[in-house]
Amino acid sequence: MSKILVGLSGGVDSAVVAYLLREAGHEVSCGFMINYISETEDCPTLADIEEAKKVAEYLGLPFHTFDFREEYEKRIVNYIYEGYQKGLTPNPDILCNNLVKFDCFLEEALEYGFDKIATGHYARIIESGGKCPPDKGGAQRAGFFFDYIPYNQELTELAQQNRKNPNPYEKKFWYDILKTPELSKYKFTKQKPLLNYIADFYCSELQLIIEIDGDSHSENIEYDKKRSEELYQYGIRILRYTNSEVKGNIQGIYTDLITFIEDNPPASPPPLSGGQSTFHLLKGVDSDKDQTYFLSRLNQFQLSHAFFPIGHLTKPEVREIARKAGLPNAERKDSQGLCFIGKVSMKEFLEKRLEKKTGNILDIHGKVLGQHEGAFSYTIGQRKGIQVGGGPALFVIAKDAVNNTITVGTEAELELYSSELAAIDWHWIGKIRKFPFTARAKIRYRQEDQDIECVQDGEGRVRVRFSSPQRAITSGQTVVIYDGDELIASGIIE
């Protein structure tokens, strides 16, 4: 049996996950992620916490809260504002899974000795024996790298013990150096198993290990040299500081580390995988609830520590389990929209930071039809809010953030607008496939899969060509690629 931390959201799906895992005999604890709390808006976070507590108490399971508001602000909220300001339409739900739930929450779980985290996503994971190549893949997303380098599984327990019992010099380095404003933007992991070693501090984005050595370390020089050579094959660099330096020259270490990072960028993206297994992300059995689209930026390391116990169930079956188990939130309605917005419209949310600026509404020939109050507040395919009177219904078919214009057209013009898209920041979930290849794809949640061909152009983009024209292809959103039920890749629409 495994030690599992369930991400309780307050909803019925994650509650059933906790119940099923408990019944299966796993060692289960419950965790609630506090990502955003608004004191002025109708934000459901506080109500969700209370619902989650009720579920944990009813099941007799430990309950913990994890405050990720700072990380959420930096990684998600700021990214949304920056994206809209550039004329893009980011998908915060995908970002939250990749950069908070299966990053910050997962890191906390591993640090406290859990084997996996479990959530109420309607998706499935299947493990196979084939290895992913260690020298390819990887993707940069919102400025963060994630990787999976092979390691000796026997080191896991020792690494967990080391995390729980840091020496005073490691503790001082963590808080006085790595948690400073300048360095906290980089994601360092404590006591990270890599190959046959345990690194004191590891940052995959920087491909950097930092070791805090005892003052009598000369006898380990040959060992350190061998380790450095092996890790360098994966592009990893190592910096070393002594206990005495941490104790007496913390400012000097800080300056040295900042200088190293500025002068020595990573040579290439780190490997996506190198483990003994490949983890495949498959659609949930309930096609109406399948949530693989929102999990499309996860990687092998994240999937290897994820558990989706209701992926083989339908929503009605989950409800019925909740009722029979007597769960206190069995009849609670599913949440709608984004948690950090509540009932506030996206337009109102954006206007908190982005200045209103009058611009022109154009037709497809460039003729001015009217004016708007900011191109950032419109998205491709939008119909409401277009202040042009008379004539047929008009939809946004393009927007120009630089010139602050939006282009509108009829539904027919919108339908014919795009049969191809360019994707950047391409991410393979598992094994890399050769271009060109045919597959199926979707450009938004709940869209039916579309027949496509993927090719690479000469500028590092992936071009996704659709068999039939697509409505409202939107820059900043995510295109997700499937081979049957398996999600194999994704990219950000340019």
Higher pLDDT, 184 or 146: 184
Q: Classify 7 as helix, strand or coil.
A: strand
Confidence at 286, pLDDT banded by 50, 70, 90: very high
- Range in 253-262, 310-319, 387-396 the model is least confident about: 387-396
Among 479, 478, 476, residue whose Cα is nearest residue 466: 479
Mean pLDDT of 375-404: 86
Q: Classify 164 as helix, strand or coil.
A: helix
Q: What is the pLDDT of residue 137?
A: 28
Q: How far is CA 70 from CA 181, 211, 304, 439, in A?
A: 11, 27, 26, 39
**Domain spanning 417-493: which CATH class is it, in words?**
mainly beta
Confidence at 340, pLDDT banded by 50, 70, 90: low
- pLDDT tens track for 63-95: 999 999 988 888 888 888 888 888 888 998 999
CATH architecture of 153-263: 3-Layer(aba) Sandwich (3.40)
CATH architecture of 3-126+284-325: 3-Layer(aba) Sandwich (3.40)
Confidence at 52, pLDDT banded by 50, 70, 90: very high
Q: What pTM does this model have?
A: 0.71
Q: What is the pLDDT of residue 135?
A: 29
Mean pLDDT of 48-57: 96
Q: Which residues contact 248 (CB under 8 A, 6 or more apart)?
A: none
Q: Which residues contact 288 (CB under 8 A, 6 or more apart)?
A: 315
Q: What is the pLDDT of residue 188?
A: 87
- pLDDT tens track for 459-481: 778 999 999 999 889 999 999 99
- Range in 217-226, 288-297, 310-319 the model is least confident about: 217-226
- pLDDT tens track for 169-179: 999 999 999 98
Residue 271, pLDDT > 60, answer: no
Q: If you average pLDDT over each of 29-43, 47-61, 158-172, which comes out highest? A: 47-61
- pLDDT tens track for 399-419: 888 899 999 998 877 766 689
Mean pLDDT of 25-38: 91
Where in the chain are the domains? Answer: 3-126+284-325, 153-263, 356-410, 417-493
Q: Which helix (H) or strand (E) covers residue 246, if one does?
A: helix 243-248
Among 127, 485, 478, residue whose Cα is nearest residue 306: 127
Q: What is the pLDDT of residue 87?
A: 86
Among 247, 254, 267, 256, residue whose Cα is nearest residue 183: 254
Mean pLDDT of 279-289: 96
Confidence at 268, pLDDT banded by 50, 70, 90: very low
Higher pLDDT, 301 or 417: 301
- Range in 16-25, 50-59, 168-177, 388-397 the model is least confident about: 388-397
CATH of 356-410, one of 3.10.28.10, 3.40.50.2000, 3.10.310.30, 2.30.30.280: 2.30.30.280
Give CA–CA dist 4/323, Å, rounded: 23
What letters, b where the CB count within 10 A reaches 16 and e where it falls short, cover 84-95? bbebbbbbbbbb
Confidence at 143, pLDDT banded by 50, 70, 90: very low
- Range in 68-82, 102-116, 129-143 the model is least confident about: 129-143
Mean pLDDT of 269-279: 56
Q: What is the pLDDT of residue 85?
A: 86
Q: What percent of the chain has pLDDT over 90?
A: 53
Mean pLDDT of 358-368: 92
Residue 145, pLDDT > 90, answer: no
Q: Classify 98 as helix, strand or coil.
A: helix
Among 84, 115, 83, 79, residue whose Cα is nearest residue 100: 79
User: What single DSSP character describes residue 77?
Assistant: I
Q: Is the dihedral of CA 311, 312, 318, 322 positive or negative?
A: negative
Residue 275, pLDDT > 70, answer: no
